[in-house]
Structure 1
């Protein structure tokens, strides 16, 4: 009998992770009929993947960041959040009843936090849960609890896990057949509470293969000669306007400071003296706005591209022996080519770190990448993410990093440990089909 699967998710990033798992399910020999209900937003990732949406969807004023700001929650309530939630709950239960009447085998996959998990638990059918929002790394590492001064620190872990008792209760119900935490440490803690947690990796690290088969600066004609290459700094300003534009202005101050530091006598510079900045710009942002900030900082348009990016529409700028490239399509290449990132993003920062690379973060004014979010992300990512309180401090951190190869090796191992190896979506899909 063909499994009927309803996927619930609550956010753009969660939608993308859900779609990766769905596409892996569709590659398996046993067919699965898949439906979706994005609880937050309109579910464009599902629409692009041709996955039918079963109920009402709506964009909310907060964009899904209500947990960071009570005022955002009130705006969403005024925008119809409660009515939408009730309609969505009814849609889920109606979907389950309709398939039960037809004698179908149905199940739900909840992706995100307690909201889709709760929807799944009250649906009346079997379910699995992909927990994207929480990790034990927020409160501990492999050896001990983190030392913190925050008043909220006790609340995050008061019951022995970053997942609270009511969340664990939903994960330990008879109908909850599988839980897929985002890392091995979280899976291990949940297993101690007799929850069916599987350590299969994080789908966030899937689909990041670069288009370039090799690093453009790693080739040399003479095997005995030293490879000369520039330092490549990836810029991750985030994806939401207008916040990303404000982040970009801060990052450009940091970029100017980095260039100035490379002219100092004791600076650690690239082997050929050049620096290339790669701006990984979300498709929804306006590059004209970013370009204006570049021109104010002294960058001039160039027809010479320093890298063979697979983007004919990329924009290249030059300032002395430094280049800055903006691309809205070569995201994976920006992650793989970068030696270090200046980051003010959520998922993109984690993916860069997951490739074993250091990122330097400048907390912005939000609503997403504010000081609270950045501090929490630094706990999640450990030594791989370095927080600075002002853009000018990025430059000395870069200089310090590349004077310390032992630290870079620790960062490389830490990133892979915390984000996992690629292929998680396929592993989760295979487990889901076997269990559900």
Structure 2
């Protein structure tokens, strides 16, 4: 990647991220840089996992990468942490710190400007501090919404929960110390509320939105023309429910069983009564399945539940391999290549996913969440996510309760409006990655 020498092309930027979701956010920023006429030279050091997201974009990795037994979920469980320590976590971390420092000093020797972009939580932020180079931080793991909303602190079950923001912020004093160093040139929190709180300290926090909401454009134009018969069209249109079982095997397959119980309860309730003008059973379920998962694990349980393969559906997806099933006058579509369309077309989601649930809510729509067995989407995770997303995420204890929640949503259009505004406020406007690259060019370059 050779560019004519200029201030920006002298900049060499090392991305540090610690997890699959963090890699994806880092990669959005990489892609936004790649669209510029003079991007910096980019390198990556994924601290968890093997960094495939970077490698797919041709970004060289500078150190050892290794997948740990926990898959990066060590924060949720001390046993997972011990498995990772036995699996070589300490040696891996030390070798990664050495690789990063070697990289920084070799850039300096060759007269280049080395800088670090840490994406995730305190781990990459600490790495960036130890690098000796200028750095910036994209904080994906923490949000003030976990502990408070615009009106004040949230009620919490346990006493220990009060420690989460004992110092006046979800970010602890030691994290704020790392963010307020002279070498830390920019901090990008995940929402406006968190940015506002961090600005009470000498931290260069900038509110640019959340890169998670970038690159979600559907295949169809979003501008809908409102005509006199829009009311009629809306009533004739099927209700669309997006199904999000998560992306990690084998957990996603177990989540799917719970989601199908919720689907059965919804169908039963539609047959009982015509809810908000949707004719009984005139409903389409769109299952957005990660490309890495095996669809036969999803389809076999459909047949057991009385769904039959079908050739057409009231909605078409831009995925030639979409699988279509029908039961009475309800349809269920399974797609591995039309994620953006699945989340844009849905009126509501039944969700057991991390990132996908947040993106759905960020489009201004309600999601109904069912806590599973984990390791990721368990009760603790779902409860924390419901604080993060507020009124947009409705937690149910049992899959069968989803039907009652959906009926209530359809009968209260005013609450749907509040949910829409809430989701947009908590997840921010798209375009964050491009705004981050512009600030990084001026502050690190």
Alignment of 1:396-415 (within 5 A): 396-415=404-423
Asked if residue 13 in structure 1 is aligned to residue 40 in structure 2, the reply is no
Q: CA RMSD in A?
A: 1.5
Aligned-residue offset at 1:29:
3.1
Q: 1:32 aligns with which of 26, 36, 40?
A: 40
Q: Distance in 2 between matches of 1:309 and 1:274?
A: 18
Q: What corresponds to 2:3 in structure 1?
A: none
Aligned-residue offset at 1:30:
3.2
Q: 1:110 aligns with which of 118, 121, 134?
A: 118
Q: What corresponds to 2:108 in structure 1?
A: 100
Q: Distance in 1 between matches of 2:103 and 2:181?
A: 21
Asked if residue 368 in structure 1 is aligned to residue 367 in structure 2, the reply is no
Q: 1:326 aligns with which of 328, 334, 341?
A: 334
Q: In the TM superposition, what whole-angstrom CA distance separates every residue of 1:175-206 from its partner, at most 9, and x where no partner exists?
A: 00000000000001111012110000000000
Q: Alpha carbons of 1:224 and 1:424: their partners in 2 closer, same or farther (altered >3 Å)?
A: closer
Q: 1:425 aligns with which of 413, 420, 433?
A: 433
Show structure 2 runs of 5+ residues with no match. Answer: 1-6
Q: Distance in 1 between matches of 2:218 and 2:428?
A: 18
8 Å CA contact retained: 2:242, 2:286: yes
Q: Distance in 1 between matches of 2:277 and 2:113?
A: 61
Asked if residue 359 in structure 1 is aligned to residue 367 in structure 2, the reply is yes
8 Å CA contact retained: 2:275, 2:410: no
Q: Distance in 1 between matches of 2:363 and 2:39?
A: 33
Q: Distance in 1 between matches of 2:21 and 2:204?
A: 24
Q: Distance in 2 between matches of 1:179 and 1:225?
A: 45
3-state secondary structure, aligned to 1:402 = helix
Show structure 1 runs of 5+ residues with no match. Answer: none
3-state secondary structure, aligned to 1:246 = helix
Q: What corresponds to 2:98 in structure 1?
A: 90
Q: 2:184 aligns with which of 158, 176, 192?
A: 176
Q: Distance in 2 between matches of 1:402 and 1:151?
A: 37
Q: What corresponds to 2:247 in structure 1?
A: 239
Q: In the TM superposition, what whole-angstrom CA distance separates every residue of 1:123-176 from its partner, at most 9, and x where no partner exists?
A: 000000000000000000012011112233111111110001111111011100
Q: 1:297 aligns with which of 305, 313, 327?
A: 305
Q: What corresponds to 1:389 in structure 2?
A: 397
Alignment of 1:245-284 (within 5 A): 245-265=253-273, 267-270=275-278, 274-284=282-292
Q: In the TM superposition, what whole-angstrom CA distance separates every residue of 1:387-430 from its partner, at most 9, and x where no partner exists?
A: 00000000000000010011000000000000000000000110
TM-score by length of 2: 0.95
3-state secondary structure, aligned to 1:99 = helix
Q: What corresponds to 2:232 in structure 1?
A: 226
8 Å CA contact retained: 2:115, 2:135: yes
8 Å CA contact retained: 1:257, 1:395: yes
TM-score by length of 1: 0.97
3-state secondary structure, aligned to 2:357 = helix
Paired positions, count: 434
Q: Distance in 1 between matches of 2:272 and 2:381?
A: 34
Aligned-residue offset at 1:220:
10
